């Protein structure tokens, strides 16, 4: 027994010596890609492996890969625990999708540890345009992508013992156990998966851990690795725990596959130093013989609840958790063309990696560049939390007081089972015109001779017009247009003169007829004039009455008044076919005689009354003839 102890101590010393050498080894980092020649939009898997001892090796710093779309990483880890000393070999997997055609470089990826910086070599990628293959799908379920599938699904150990499935009844030496803290969550809400590897015996070499296959989840590692000792059914176990935050990406029953640990456990051989085979055993290495074991955890079923449709804001983009939004700019006094860094920060608990940038409303007064985001995660108490920064460069195009409007961000809060919309405060910028040719807005660096094009920033209606009265011309035209019947006046005016002209023309063409037509009117006018002016002058009166009567008859008969005599009247009337009654003819003769007798009578015989009577007689005579002729 004593000999056995001596050998055991010697072997353990050798083992510890080896472990100590490993612990003092430096950290190594290596990057590789699955292919270096791809077509546009084809995925490249970048694997960064970090090997080192100790549990506090930081994650590698991925440089800005502006030519690639970089999707969330997965992480695989193999752990060796030897006498409490741990050595890890961690593989970080990234999915890159190139956004360029030609040659591009993945710059060195670095890690700082122990005051030293370790970095990988740059990798050259050639991207061709043709033969662009379809995207292999969003690598968001990248946790699953990054996890190596277990080699086979056998849960049998090499010794034929199933440690994982029935660990407790037989109090096995090693087993793996996986649990989740909540088995019913909303889509994109966190649940924490814990995978614990228990060992009650010494291990040879480092156990290899393969994370469970996750389908329908986005996973997030929750370091650090937790180690400790615990008693299970009276047996002391050393355990190592790895935690993952899981965010379901789809609703329904989701399965978390078994986690797998491969290890080699020390065989407990009965060592008899006095046995004949002892030396053979030493030289054949059978004293250090180990037994390989492959352990699996139980698969888990988790229910992902769909997000309610009721009350879902229009701008909701899938964020689940509890968040706050803030916004700031690096300066508020700028010139036209100067760049302003506008930063929106969303902080809180939830799957920040998959958080999309809140949409910035249209800002025609600015040139808005692409938004770049960065993440600051804090996994305190195994809750994924932190801040996501969305930085956008804004370049004012115009001077004046410009406002960056409030930005809306909506998320579903599983604690209150409701959607919430938060707004960042609006930010006012004072933009000065700036010196010509200065500023980022003039980044195109127009040469002195090159004319600058007018660039349309936005389109809007034109501004108000200064108060103006309606012009006189407008009012006049309006009034003329609305004049109604008044507009008939010029027609009447024209018609009158036109008619007059036509009449005169007609008169000129047939003067005899015109005389006939005017005879009556002319005679009456002479009589009226005589009555007014010569009533007291019988001589003149009778002269006028004679002229009226003889003139009337002459006009009607188409004769000259001087040529017409009382004796020749009958003949002329017959000649002119002047149809008057014999009575009228008698009256004509009587009145003519009367007038002649007065014309040639001595002065003073006639009185005013007599003159008036003869005037009336002449009038009545002419009127009766006129009536007869009609």
Partner 1 sequence: MKEKRFPTHSYFYLPFLLLLSASASAQQNLAAQARQKYDAGNYAASAVLFQNAIEKSPENPFLQYDLGNALFKSGKLGEAIVSYQRAFDLMPRNSDIRYNLAFALKRAGEDLVPSGIPPILFYLFYWLSLKELSGFFWVFTWILLLSAGIWIKMKKPAPLRPLLSISLTLCSIFGIWWGIRFLLEPNALGVIVTQTAEVRSGPGESFSVNFTAPEGRRVEILSESSGWIEVGLLKEGSRGWVSTKDVEKI
Of residues 36 and 480, the one with the C-beta less far from partner 1: 480
Number of shown-chain residues binding partner 1 (CB under 8 A): 32
Distance from chain centroid for Cα 396: 19
Binding to partner 1 (CB under 8 A) within 485-524 occurs at: 487, 489-491, 493-494, 496-498, 500-501
Of residues 309 and 505, the one with the C-beta less far from partner 1: 505
Tell the smallest beta-carbon distance from residue 465 to partner 1 (Å): 5
CA 296 – CA 409 distance, rounded (Å)? 42
Tell the smallest beta-carbon distance from residue 480 to partner 1 (Å): 4
Of residues 56 and 458, the one with the C-beta less far from partner 1: 458
Tell the smallest beta-carbon distance from residue 37 to partner 1 (Å): 49
Binding to partner 1 (CB under 8 A) within 105-134 occurs at: none
Question: Which residues are within 8 A (CB) of 620 and not within 5 positions of it... i.e. 6 or more apart?
Answer: none
Give the closest residue to 209 by CA, choosing from 295, 123, 113, 268.
295
Of residues 487 and 570, the one with the C-beta less far from partner 1: 487
Main-chain dihedrals φ then ψ at residue 219, nearest 5 degrees: -110, 155
From the list 483, 506, 512, 566, which residue makes contact with partner 1 (rule: CB under 8 A)? 483
Residue 81, H or E segment: strand 68-82
- What are 49's two structure tokens? 């492996």
Binding to partner 1 (CB under 8 A) within 443-482 occurs at: 459-470, 474-481
Q: Are 369 and 428 in contact (CB under 8 A)?
A: no
Pairing type for strands 418-423 and 184-186 reads unpaired
Of residues 18 and 487, the one with the C-beta less far from partner 1: 487
CA 436 – CA 457 distance, rounded (Å)? 18
Give the closest residue to 262 by CA, choosing from 156, 368, 189.
156
Q: Are 561 and 550 in contact (CB under 8 A)?
A: yes
Tell the smallest beta-carbon distance from residue 462 to partner 1 (Å): 5
CA 29 – CA 49 distance, rounded (Å)? 6
Of residues 446 and 493, the one with the C-beta less far from partner 1: 493
* 214 cis-preceded (ω within 30 degrees of 0): no
Of residues 9 and 479, the one with the C-beta less far from partner 1: 479
The three-state secondary structure class of 500 is: helix
CA 89 – CA 351 distance, rounded (Å)? 26
Tell the smallest beta-carbon distance from residue 308 to partner 1 (Å): 28
CA 173 – CA 175 distance, rounded (Å)? 7
CA 16 – CA 11 distance, rounded (Å)? 9
Query: Distance between terminal CA atoms of the chain?
Result: 175
Residue that has been written with the tokens 């007065």 in this structure: 598
Tell the smallest beta-carbon distance from residue 422 to partner 1 (Å): 25
Residue that has been written with the tokens 């986690």 in this structure: 259
Tell the smallest beta-carbon distance from residue 351 to partner 1 (Å): 38
Angle at alpha carbon of residue 117, lines to 142 and 33, rounded to 5°: 35
Q: Where are the alpha helices (DSSP H) in 248-341?
A: 278-284
Give the closest residue to 353 by CA, choosing from 243, 213, 210, 190.
190
- What are 164's two structure tokens? 């994982």
Tell the smallest beta-carbon distance from residue 457 to partner 1 (Å): 15
Of residues 370 and 459, the one with the C-beta less far from partner 1: 459
Tell the smallest beta-carbon distance from residue 461 to partner 1 (Å): 5
Tell the smallest beta-carbon distance from residue 497 to partner 1 (Å): 4
Of residues 362 and 477, the one with the C-beta less far from partner 1: 477
Of residues 134 and 473, the one with the C-beta less far from partner 1: 473
Tell the smallest beta-carbon distance from residue 400 to partner 1 (Å): 13
Tell the smallest beta-carbon distance from residue 481 to partner 1 (Å): 4
Of residues 99 and 406, the one with the C-beta less far from partner 1: 406
Q: Given 3-state DSSP classes, what are the helix, strand and coil percentages for the chain, each rounded to the nearest 5?
A: 30, 35, 35
Of residues 416 and 468, the one with the C-beta less far from partner 1: 468
Binding to partner 1 (CB under 8 A) within 67-86 occurs at: none
Question: Which residues are within 8 A (CB) of 72 and not within 5 positions of it... i.e. 6 or more apart?
Answer: 139, 140, 142, 218, 353, 354
* 224 cis-preceded (ω within 30 degrees of 0): yes
Tell the smallest beta-carbon distance from residue 505 to partner 1 (Å): 10
Query: With 0-12 CB in 10 A as exposed, 13-18 as middle and 19+ as buried, what is 331?
Result: exposed
Piece of the chain touching partner 1 by CB under 8 A; list 80-88, 280-288, 385-393, 483-491: 483-491
For residues 185 to 214, the per-residue mask of contacts with partner 1, x marking binding by CB under 8 A and - elsewhere, is ------------------------------
Of residues 450 and 473, the one with the C-beta less far from partner 1: 473
**Site residues (vs partner 1, CB under 8 A):** 459-470, 474-481, 483, 487, 489-491, 493-494, 496-498, 500-501
């Amino acid at each position: 027994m004593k000999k056995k102890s001596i050998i055991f101590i010697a072997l353990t010393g050798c083992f510890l010596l080896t472990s100590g050498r490993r612990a003092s080894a430096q950290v190594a980092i290596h990057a590789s890609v699955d292919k270096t020649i791809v077509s546009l939009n084809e995925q490249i898997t970048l694997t960064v492996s970090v090997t080192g001892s100790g549990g506090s090796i930081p994650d590698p710093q991925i440089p800005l890969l502006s030519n690639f779309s970089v999707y969330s990483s997965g992480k695989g880890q193999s752990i060796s625990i030897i006498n409490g000393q741990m050595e890890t070999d961690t593989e970080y997997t990234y999915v890159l999708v190139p956004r360029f055609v030609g040659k591009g470089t993945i710059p060195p990826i670095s890690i700082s540890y122990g005051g030293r910086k370790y970095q990988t070599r740059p990798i050259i990628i050639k991207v061709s345009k043709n033969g662009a293959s379809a995207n292999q799908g969003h690598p968001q379920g990248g946790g699953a992508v990054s996890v190596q599938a277990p080699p086979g699904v056998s849960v049998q150990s090499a010794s034929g013992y199933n440690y994982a499935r029935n660990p407790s009844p037989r109090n096995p030496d090693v087993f793996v156990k996986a649990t989740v803290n909540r088995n019913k969550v909303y889509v994109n809400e966190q649940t924490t998966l814990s995978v614990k590897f228990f060992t009650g015996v010494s291990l040879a070499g480092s156990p290899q851990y393969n994370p469970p296959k996750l389908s329908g989840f986005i996973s997030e590692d929750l370091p650090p690795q937790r180690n400790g000792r615990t008693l299970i059914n009276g047996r002391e176990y050393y355990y190592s725990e790895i935690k993952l935050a899981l965010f379901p990406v789809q609703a329904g029953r989701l399965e978390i596959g078994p986690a797998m640990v491969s290890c080699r456990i020390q065989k407990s051989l009965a060592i008899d130093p006095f046995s004949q085979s002892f030396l053979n055993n030493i030289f054949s290495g059978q004293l250090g013989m180990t037994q390989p074991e492959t352990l699996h955890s139980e698969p888990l079923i988790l229910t992902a609840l769909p997000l309610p449709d009721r009350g879902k804001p229009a701008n909701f983009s899938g964020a689940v958790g509890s968040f706050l939004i803030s916004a700031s700019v690096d300066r508020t006094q700028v010139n036209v063309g100067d760049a302003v860094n506008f930063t929106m920060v969303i902080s809180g608990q939830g799957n920040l990696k998959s958080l999309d940038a809140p949409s910035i409303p249209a800002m025609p007064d600015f040139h808005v560049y692409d938004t770049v985001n960065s993440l600051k995660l804090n996994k305190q108490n195994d809750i994924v939390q932190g801040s996501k920064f969305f930085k956008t460069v804004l370049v004012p195009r115009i001077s004046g007081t410009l406002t960056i409007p409030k930005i809306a961000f909506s998320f579903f809060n599983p604690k209150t089972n409701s959607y919430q919309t938060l707004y960042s405060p609006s930010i006012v910028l004072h933009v000065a015109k700036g010196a010509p040719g200065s500023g980022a807005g003039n980044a195109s660096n127009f040469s002195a001779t090159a004319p600058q094009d007018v660039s349309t920033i936005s389109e809007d209606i034109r501004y108000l017009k200064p108060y103006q009265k309606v012009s006189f011309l407008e009012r006049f035209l309006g009034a003329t247009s609305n004049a109604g019947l008044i507009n008939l006046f010029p027609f009447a005016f024209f018609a009158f003169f036109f008619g007059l002209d036509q009449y005169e023309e007609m008169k000129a063409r047939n003067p005899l007829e015109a005389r006939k037509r005017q005879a009556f009117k002319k005679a009456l006018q002479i009589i009226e004039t005589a009555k007014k002016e010569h009533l007291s002058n019988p001589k003149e009166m009778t002269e006028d009455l004679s002229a009226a009567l003889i003139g009337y008859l002459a006009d009607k008969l188409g004769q000259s008044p001087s040529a017409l005599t009382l004796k020749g009247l009958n003949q002329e009337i017959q000649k002119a076919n002047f149809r008057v009654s014999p009575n009228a003819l008698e009256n004509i003769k009587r009145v003519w005689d009367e007038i002649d007798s007065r014309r040639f009578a001595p002065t003073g015989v006639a009185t005013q009354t007599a003159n008036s009577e003869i005037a009336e007689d002449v009038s009545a005579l002419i009127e009766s003839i006129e009536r007869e002729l009609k």
